[in-house]
Amino acid sequence: MKCNPRVTSSRRKCRKAHFTAPSNVRRKLMSSPLSSDLRAKYNVRSTPVRKDDEVQVVRGTFKGREGKVVQVYRKKWVIHIERITREKVNGSTVNVGVDPSKVIITKLKLDKDRKSLLERKARAAPPTKPKENSLPRRLRPAPRRLFRRSIDPLRIEVFFSPIFTQFYLPR
User: Residue 42 domain-assigned?
Assistant: yes
Which run of H or E residues covers position 19? helix 11-19
Contact 77, 21 (CB under 8 A): no
pLDDT per residue as tens, the chain (171 positions) = 788 999 999 999 999 999 999 999 999 999 999 999 999 999 999 999 999 999 999 999 999 999 999 999 999 999 999 999 999 999 999 999 999 999 999 999 999 999 999 999 999 977 666 566 667 777 777 776 665 555 555 555 655 666 655 555 555
Strand partners, 34: 105
User: Residue 15 domain-assigned?
Assistant: yes
User: Residue 142 domain-assigned?
Assistant: no
d(CA 138, CA 140): 6
User: Residue 59 domain-assigned?
Assistant: yes
User: Residue 17 domain-assigned?
Assistant: yes
User: Residue 78 domain-assigned?
Assistant: yes
For residue 168, the model assigns a pLDDT of 57
For residue 161, the model assigns a pLDDT of 62
Structural domain boundaries enclosing 89: 11-125
For residue 80, the model assigns a pLDDT of 98
User: Residue 167 domain-assigned?
Assistant: no
User: Residue 170 domain-assigned?
Assistant: no
Strand partners, 106: none
d(CA 130, CA 6): 37
Residue 66 CB neighbours (<10 A): 17
Question: Is pTM beyond 0.75 here?
Answer: no
Number of domains in the chain: 1
Contact 84, 71 (CB under 8 A): no
Which residue type occupies 70?
V
d(CA 99, CA 169): 66
The CATH number that applies at residue 72 is 2.30.30.30
For residue 143, the model assigns a pLDDT of 72
